[in-house]
Structure formats: C-alpha cells, structure tokens
Amino acid sequence: MKFFIDTANLEQIIEAQAMGILDGVTTNPSLMAKEGITGEANILKHYVDICNLVDGDVSAEVISTDFDGMVREGEALAKLHPQIVIKLPMIGDGVKACKYFSDKGIKTNVTLVFSAGQALLAAKAGATYMSPFIGRLDDISTDGLGLIADIRLIYDNYGFETQILAASVRHTMHIMDCAKIGADVMTGPLSAIKGLLKHPLTDIGLAKFLADFEKGN
C-alpha cells in the first residue's frame, strides 16, 4: 500500500519523507490556498519544490474545465518535473483528457470520484490513479469505505490497472480500513499517518524496558 501525504505544507512533507514511509504527495487548489500559495507562478514553483523534497509521484491539479484547457495546462504541468502526475476532475472533459494523457504515457489522477460508475469510467480512460473521496461521503452519511470496496471488486473483476487512491482520508482508522479492503494508495494528513504509531502498550513497555535497564546500571 502506498502512502501519499495530502498537503501543500512543506514542513509536513519533509517530516513524512524523513519517516521513510512516504511514496508521494497529493495537492489541490484548496490545500495550496491554505498554505497561502496563490498566483500561477507561485503555484508552479511550489510543485517543483515539493518534487524536489520527495521521491514519488506528486499530483498537480488542472483548473480548466474544458478539454483544450486541461490539455494545455496538463502538458505545461508535466514539463515541470518528471514526478508530476496530472490531476483531472471527474467530468466528461476530464475523462477525455485522461484518455489523451494516458495514450501519451503521461501519468494521471482522476479526482473528485464519488461513485463506482465514475471509477469505472476513469479506469476505462486509462487513469494511473483514481481518487474516491471517502471523508466527504462520510460527511453526508454515505459509506465512503463501502465505495472503496465496490471499486476494488469491479477493478479486480476486469483486471483494471488503475490504482485506487483513497482520498479525503481524515483519520487513522480510515487508513486501516482502506488497507483491509485493498486500496492501492491512501492520501491523508500527517496526523492520520502518525496515528498509526500510537499504542499505549508500546509506551508502557518501552518505559519498563528503560527503567529495568537503569536498575542494572
């Protein structure tokens, strides 16, 4: 299972990379704005800065909603750095642009997926990654993890190679549930990743080992 961090915050990206478990980064216009990164030139520079900090794939989202605009933007983004993955919205022109980029061997991430039918379309268009937003489905009392399970079943039925990138992960249990279902990738906040470290018996056990060591010295 790949671990991506879902942020544009460089300090958090550096911390996750230093843990040695990071496989990539996802961003979106909201995460950029949250870090105060605005204006095209600054956003493009920020993508390059992120690529230079990590080893894996870095998703960079297009803003255009028409095919020509997505192709123009996506081609410019792909030229920024070899690690860039073009993030496209799950709309008709986004699917068309996904097919265009996958035919050219450029990696894609189809985002804002909320149904199994949308996931099927993304796979048919040859998406590298397809991002169902589980937290936002949970927010409206719909089973986000159930969607991941449905998509896993459908992709396995036909051997689709598109990777299920569980997105809008909000907490540690989301990560564990996605791992049980077999999501290929999860992207979440650093807090959810670090939550995997925690167990009170680990802390108690370590404190006892250290205390016992001290007794003998």
User: H/E element holding 110?
Assistant: strand 108-113
What is the nearest approach in angstroms of ligand G3P to the Cβ of residue 61? 10
Shortest Å distance, C-beta 181 to ligand G3P: 17
Give yes or no for residue 118 binding ligand G3P (CB under 6 A). no
Which residue stretch of 12-20, 32-40, 64-72, 164-172 sits at the interface with ligand G3P (rule: CB under 6 A)? 164-172
Does residue 109 bind ligand G3P (CB under 6 A)?
A: no
Half-sphere exposure of 161 (CA within 13 A, CB side): 5
Q: Which of 32, 120, 168, 177 binds ligand G3P (CB under 6 A)?
A: 168
In the bound complex, what is the minimum distance in angstroms from residue 136's beta carbon to ligand G3P?
A: 4
Output Rg (C-alpha) for the chain, integer angstroms.
19
Q: Using alpha carbons, select from 97, 77, 79 the residue that is nearest to residue 88.
A: 97
Number of residues binding to ligand G3P, judged by CB under 6 A: 11
**For ligand G3P, which residue of 9, 26, 118, 162 counts as binding (CB under 6 A)?**
26
Q: Site for ligand G3P (CB under 6 A): which residue of 133, 185, 186, 192?
A: 133
Is residue 87 among the annotated active site residues?
Answer: yes
Query: Which residue in the list 2, 34, 79, 87 is annotated as catalytic?
Result: 87
Give the shortest CB-3-to-ligand G3P separation in angstroms: 13
Q: Does 135 bind ligand G3P (CB under 6 A)?
A: yes
Minimum gap (Å) between residue 86 Cβ and ligand G3P: 15
Phi, psi for residue 175 in degrees, rounded to 5: -60, -45
Residue with tokens 């996958």, as numbered in its chain: 102
Give alpha helix (H) positions in 64-186: 67-80, 92-103, 116-124, 134-139, 144-158, 172-181
Cα 149 to Cα 181: distance, rounded to the nearest angstrom: 6
Token digits of residue 11: 């300090």
Nearest partner of 76 among 65, 89, 90, 62, judged by Cα: 62
Using Cβ positions, the residue closest to ligand G3P within the complex turns out to be: 167
Helix (H, G, I), strand (E, B) or coil at 129: strand
- Catalog residues that contact ligand G3P under the rule CB under 6 A: 6, 26, 28, 31, 133, 135-136, 167-168, 170, 187
Q: What are the residue numbers of the active site?
A: 87
